[in-house]
A and B are shown apart, each in its own frame.
Chain A
Amino acid sequence: MLAYIVRRVLQFIPVALLTSVIIFVGVRLAPGDPAELLAGPDPSPQVVAAIREKLGLDQSIPLQFVLWLKGLATGDLGRSMVNGLPVSELLVQRLGATFELAIAALILSLLAGGALGIAAGMRPNSLLDRLISALTALGLSLPLFWTGILMIMFFAVQLRWFPVAGQAPLSAGPLAVLASLALPATTIAIGNAPVIARFLRNEIVEMRRSDHVRTAYAKGLPSHVIVRDYVVRNSLIPVLTVAGIILGHLIGGSAVVEIVFSWPGIGQLLVTALSNRDYSVVEGAMIVAVGAFLLANLLVDIGYGLLDPRIRSSYDK
């Protein structure tokens, strides 16, 4: 098992390094000279040069990269070019909001996706299965920003059940927090529950055909026990891994939903920073989003290896 984990972590390092190179180079390819942006309108060349020196932009690109990596390792990502705040501070602030939304969305996705998946998987090719299949197809096809706007239109503007946008602070009480979470989390869940439902359905259909389930039937176990202990439980293990991947995806991937609901998360930070050409913030937000995605994948793979000995052994060959 240790060999598997070590090997998987070793695979992670070059990919993580390469992605940071891509982000670093990408940001430097973006239009606009940060030194000139910082210097304000009509700066003298001396001012621009001084700023460039202060930011370390006069160094060679490889040296800049090494210095940047060093900063990354110590948590120093520079300062926002717009408001001068340390980027790491901004990211930590925003990460809380993003996590809150991601966790709420994941819980909703698991509940809805789980229920639909089990219902469909227990009666494959029945009317119910087809209905759920159609429903999941619709969920996968809805653009999340449209779902979000529709949610606002019906539940916030017309019915006034929930706030239109924004995140309620914890001090506003649990009810206000949940109310502000409800619409964005449901929006994300509408896009992700179908993934879980379809996956779980296929797992269950396969599991019910497997030898150990047939044996359980043959030895006369009551079918609700078989379903609970043999079919559903075993099918849930891989679902957890899907949930992990979805969670990793949501850290940066919910940018569009965060924009629709003015949710102060990493995605919104990234998009605003892009339109302000605040590149140090763009860099930081990208690193966090991609890092979360990579880390989630790594943990999912390790978790999978822990739970399923067959995965481990295929690596030991």
Chain B
Amino acid sequence: MTSEAVLSRTTKAAASPDFVFWAAALVLAGLVVLASVAPILPMPSYSAMSTARLASPNPAHWFGTDQFGRDLLVRVLFGLRTSLWIGALGVTASTVLGTAVGLIAGYTGGWLDTVCMRALDSLLAFPSLLLAIGVAAILGPGAVSTALALGIVGVPQMARIVRAGTLSESQMQYVEAARSVGTKTGSILLRHILPNVLHLISVQMVMFFVVAVLTEASLSFLGLGIQVPVPSLGSMLKEARDYVGTAPWFVVAPGAALTLSVLALNIFADGLRTHAGSRS
């Protein structure tokens, strides 16, 4: 067992009861809905300033206001929107790239496989936050480059998982049969192998979504991710840090929203993995 194998077992949780999984799914769905409908809710704009600076939570501003008098509830909702959106983009990028590399490397084998895997190994040699920091610094700050940085961080894992699945599927008789009747390689990969490794891909997508949301928040906290005035939970916490003594609600609101989404995602991912594990 190598160190990777050791780590892949670490995060497995004790099997949680079904209702916890469904509660997490419900919270997640609620957060997604809130983030989606945020722009059409009858609320002030996330950049609307007011004279009520650093107001504590009150009936007019449920979560209080920040140093510019902006409503924190609105900003948290839009920050959540940014987190989920950028996370989803990052997951999509890593899935497309990783699946392509994994399918081709696993099916072709030979030197191409070796080259791809060594290249991915060297990406895995970077702690994921460092890799994201590096890529984000090269691409410059902003939503698209943040999503792309997340995508690159997720490629190695996804490619490895898809490659392993492809390797075992390509030994199967149905693949041999398709080959023997002259099906083109592209068609074998997309129409025969891909559907059979889809369950592996979907579990990895959810698991990486957690990493992506946390990494985006960290990047934005460091000032390398989403830029003002677009609210991001990470960049809100960066601003809130200066007000720990005066406006604790400013610190609590974005962090609690972030933690709640990550927690729900984590439980959801764990449940999905247990389910997938019992199926295979």
Contacts and interface: CB of A to CB of B under 8 A. Distances in A.
A143 B137 contact: no
Contact of A138 (B11, B137, B254, B263): B263
Interface string A137-158: 1101111111001101100010
B107 to A, nearest CB: 23
A149 B16 contact: no
B221 A145 contact: yes
Contacts of A263: none
Given A22-B123, A198-B13, A143 B241 contact: no
A197 to B, nearest CB: 10
Interface in B115-167: 118-119, 121-123, 125-127, 129-130, 133-135, 137-138, 140
Interface stretch (A42-50, A72-80, A245-253): A245-253
A125 B234 CA distance: 36
Contact of B1 (A153, A157, A252, A304): A304
Given A15-B122, A130-B14, A145-B221, A30 B258 contact: no
Interface residues of B, number: 56
Interface string B244-277: 1100100110110011001101110010000000
B57 interface: no
Interface residues of A, number: 68
A275 B140 CA distance: 11
B6 to A, nearest CB: 5
Contact of B251 (A19, A149, A199): A149
Interface in A212-261: 238, 241-242, 244-245, 249, 252-253, 255-256, 259-260
Interface stretch (A60-68, A81-89, A168-176, A290-298): A290-298
Secondary structure class of chain A's binding surface, majority of residues? helix
Contact of A15 (B13, B121, B245): B121
Nearest to B213: A143
B258 A143 contact: yes
A245 B121 CA distance: 16
A290 B222 contact: no
Contacts of A304: 1-3, 6
Contacts of A301: 2-3
Tell me which of B14, B138, B248, B270 has the highest count of chain A C-beta atoms within 10 A of its own C-beta: B14
A15 B248 CA distance: 46
Contacts of B12: 198, 202
Given A137-B13, A137-B266, A242-B6, A253 B130 contact: yes
B237 interface: yes
B213 to A, nearest CB: 9
B14 A125 contact: yes
A270 B134 CA distance: 10
B82 interface: no
B137 A130 contact: no
A19 B119 CA distance: 9
B255 A146 contact: yes
B7 interface: yes
B72 interface: no
Contacts of B69: none
Contact of A259 (B2, B222, B248, B265): B222
Contact of A149 (B122, B126, B241): B241
Interface in B1-28: 1-3, 6-7, 9-17
Contacts of A195: 10-11
B146 to A, nearest CB: 15
A274 interface: yes
A167 interface: no
Given A16-B125, A133-B16, A242-B10, 16 more contacts: A15-B118, A15-B125, A22-B123, A22-B126, A140-B266, A141-B266, A142-B262, A143-B259, A143-B262, A144-B218, A150-B252, A198-B10, A198-B11, A253-B127, A255-B222, A271-B224
Interface of B: 1-3, 6-7, 9-17, 118-119, 121-123, 125-127, 129-130, 133-135, 137-138, 140, 214, 217-218, 221-224, 234, 237, 240-241, 244-245, 248, 251-252, 254-255, 258-259, 262-263, 265-267, 270
11 contacts: A18-B119, A23-B134, A132-B14, A141-B263, A146-B259, A157-B244, A238-B6, A241-B3, A253-B130, A260-B241, A270-B130
